[in-house]
Amino acid sequence: MSLKAPTTLFASIRTGAISLGLFAVITAAAISLTYVAGSDSIAANKAAAKAHALAAVMPSNFYDQSLLSAPQKLLNYHILNLEEDAVGYAAVKSGRTQAMVLPVVAKDGYSGDISLLVGIDRQGVIQGVRTIEHKETPGLGDKVERKKSSWIDSFIGRSLGNTTLEDWAVTKDGGVFDGFTGATITPRAVVSAVHQGLLYHQQHYNVLYAVAQEN
């Protein structure tokens, strides 16, 4: 056998190995770029969804900067049934905090937790409420969603000053908030949670607005 054959074979193997190595590097780089781009896209979508939810409970005349730009760590978060890293959002206009958006969780929903956002101005008046997560029964308890029913808007304009403690209940319990036909547990849980949000806002008023203003 001539010496040329092994040399040619070695060169072929080396070329194949280099090509394979380059292919692996390019593939890994492409996967990494795709992952980064995908992660950025997911993060951007989550931020957009959160901004949309915050704007739904806080009229635009209360702020002139993004609500997402003014997060505030909440003290005594357990009162609102939240986790330790829970934050609220300040509505800031002309450098002054005009209102707060507080997350609240109703632990006593028919099918589990009901997560809410409650927008409250400095006077303690509700500007909006939205359900952001729940597992309630479709066609019954899911009427807490704004896209399914306007019921959630019945909280707008309510405060501790114009709605008595007894009134913070569904009509079946002697309150002023309508229930749902065949589903009393869900609205009862939401009414209670929104009321708790107002109480929290009142009890932590000085801290909420002092910290928000400082930030």
Cα separation of 208 and 122, whole Å?
Answer: 10
Cα separation of 4 and 150, whole Å?
Answer: 84
- Token representation of residue 73: 């760590």
Q: Could you report the per-residue pLDDT of 101-149, keeping only the tens digit for each?
A: 999 999 888 888 889 999 999 999 999 999 998 877 777 777 888 888 8
Q: What is the pLDDT of residue 23?
A: 61
In a domain, 95, yes or no: yes
Could you identify the residue written with the tokens 């066609």?
Answer: 139
Q: What is the pLDDT of residue 111?
A: 84
In a domain, 148, yes or no: yes
In a domain, 76, yes or no: yes
Q: What is the pLDDT of residue 159?
A: 98
In a domain, 69, yes or no: yes
In a domain, 23, yes or no: no
In a domain, 166, yes or no: yes
In a domain, 145, yes or no: yes
Number of domains in the chain: 1
In a domain, 189, yes or no: yes
pTM: 0.76
Instruction: Count Cβ atoms below 10 Å from residue 187 Cβ, excluding itself.
Output: 27
- In the chain, which stretches have pLDDT less than 50? 1, 36-37
Average pLDDT, rounded, for the chain: 83
Cα separation of 74 and 17, whole Å?
Answer: 58
- Token representation of residue 74: 């909440």
CA distances in angstroms from 192 to 89, 97, 107, 175, listed in the order given: 21, 26, 10, 11
Cα separation of 150 and 98, whole Å?
Answer: 26
Element (H, E) at 165: none
Q: What is the pLDDT of residue 138?
A: 77
Q: Domain range for residue 179?
A: 58-214
